[in-house]
Amino acid sequence: MNSSIDFTHDPAARSWVESANAPDTDFPLQNLPLGRFRRRGDHHPAAWRIGIAIGDQVLDFRKVAEAKIDLGVPLGALERGVLNAFLATGPERRQQLRHAVFNALGEDSPLQGALQRCLVPQSAIELSLPCRIGDYTDFYTGIHHATAVGKLFRPDQPLLPNYKHVPIGYHGRASSIVVSGTEVTRPRGQLKGPQDELPRFAPCERLDHELELGAFIATGNELGAPLSMEQAEAALAGLVLLNDWSARDMQAWEYQPLGPFLAKNFATTISPWLVTMEALAPFRAPFERPAGDPQPLPYLDGEFNRGAGSIDIALEVFLSSAAMREQGLPALRISQSNFRDAYWTLAQMVAHHASNGCNLQPGDLLGTGTQSGPGPGQGGSMLELSQGGKVALTLPDGSERRFLQDGDELTLRARCERPGARRIGFGACAGIVLPAA
């Protein structure tokens, strides 16, 4: 199973890359996330390559191959800059790479001298999506978000009857998924308020974010071949942060009866570093349903899922207006929550997606849905934080927000930490809102 704890999780282990030993780094030796990058300003088609983040540096696999440095594991597709093909080799190969890189970057590694020439400062690179995303499905696993939003529109029945029995999801658009740092243009669409006789075509007025995680598929399945819960767990490559930008006024008019469409597919931002399931192993937690809730159907149940299906990931959202940045004011944290509160696990999402024989492929992305918490200040969207636009948030520059305005920068962050384990992070998932075209 790709979630076992081994020597690579030793919290006392240190790297010869000194920045990786800083207590507040997202990328210590115990993390080793995968990403796709190129040197800033190098626009040659072959410039893109695969690397591993370590402190404030990146280990460049192509440089390792060119220098003929033997890590003890074949790099294969990694040296060619193709992450999809590497993910398709499965969890055992991924774990072998993790072990090899951990040893190579460890404090007493004999490869230090050779590998120092294969490091690239993160300040000198630009990042892309970690791999080619063939398909994208967005789930709705955050029960506190589903309940809060349901109360706004259906006070007598916030949760629909199927929610606690089936992982709800819809198919999104892969072509509009962008990497952190990409600007997001305010969409135009049909709007119709409760007092409007007819709809109008105009820029979105209730632009929102959604705090989510994104799960990448590694091995997938053949068409017509469902995945068991154990196979679903093994099919997971790792996680990124995901902001599913949403046009709430467009959504309210168009989503019935077929669900989300243009209100959701204009942009989805993800963080660039793929934090592997192996790195997340120390932060697994039991999956438990509240007393009295229905238990999952057998195809969505399993011993491992009950014992360690959840993952303890602390999530945060920060908002910065253009005026705040001009005044040098720090971004305001507007929300915090934890992925442990999700009603469905990652493996359940995968198993359900494939239960009808749908074929998942290496590089497919599954969004978790908005991860809100049960308390005040834990809403994962402005829709919740402003109670549907009724309550304004006051920013440090004195301005107010019910939904996002042009010039606003929205940043998601996440970290895993617990006693006896090294803190790891995900890097930033950020985007600035531009005016409608």
Give 187: exposed, middle or buried? Use CB within 10 Å, 0-12, 13-18, 19+: buried
Placement of tokens 């969207």 in the chain = 381
* 138 marked as part of a ligand binding site: yes
Question: What is the Cα–Cα distance from 369 to 142, expressed in whole angstroms?
Answer: 6
Question: What is the Cα–Cα distance from 313 to 275, expressed in whole angstroms?
Answer: 12
* 151 marked as part of a ligand binding site: no
DSSP reduced 3-state for 272: coil
The answer to whether 171 is a known catalytic residue is no
- The separation between CA 214 and the C-alpha centre of its own chain, rounded to angstroms, equals 4
* 303 marked as part of a ligand binding site: no
Closest by Cα among 77, 69, 74, 72 to 48:
77
* 288 marked as part of a ligand binding site: no
Question: What is the Cα–Cα distance from 393 to 194, expressed in whole angstroms?
Answer: 24
**121-137 in b/e burial notation, b at 16+ Cβ within 10 A?**
ebeebbbebbbebebbb
* 268 marked as part of a ligand binding site: yes
Residue type, 362: P
Placement of tokens 């998601």 in the chain = 412
226 contact partners, CB below 8 Å, separation of at least 6: 299, 351, 354, 355, 356, 357
* 384 marked as part of a ligand binding site: no
Q: Which tokens in the block code for residue 385?
A: 């934080």
Quote the Cα angle for 53-337-371, to 5°: 85
* 140 marked as part of a ligand binding site: yes
* 251 marked as part of a ligand binding site: yes
Q: 10 Å Cβ neighbour count for 262?
A: 17
Question: What is the Cα–Cα distance from 340 to 406, expressed in whole angstroms?
Answer: 33
Catalytic residue among 145, 209, 352, 353: 145
* 368 marked as part of a ligand binding site: no
**Beta bridge partner(s), residue 83:** none
Binding residue positions for Ca(2+): 138, 210, 212, 244
Binding residue positions for Mg(2+): 244, 264, 268
Binding residue positions: 138, 140, 154, 210, 212, 244, 251, 255, 264, 268, 370
Binding residue positions for substrate: 140, 154, 251, 255, 370
Residues forming the active site: 145
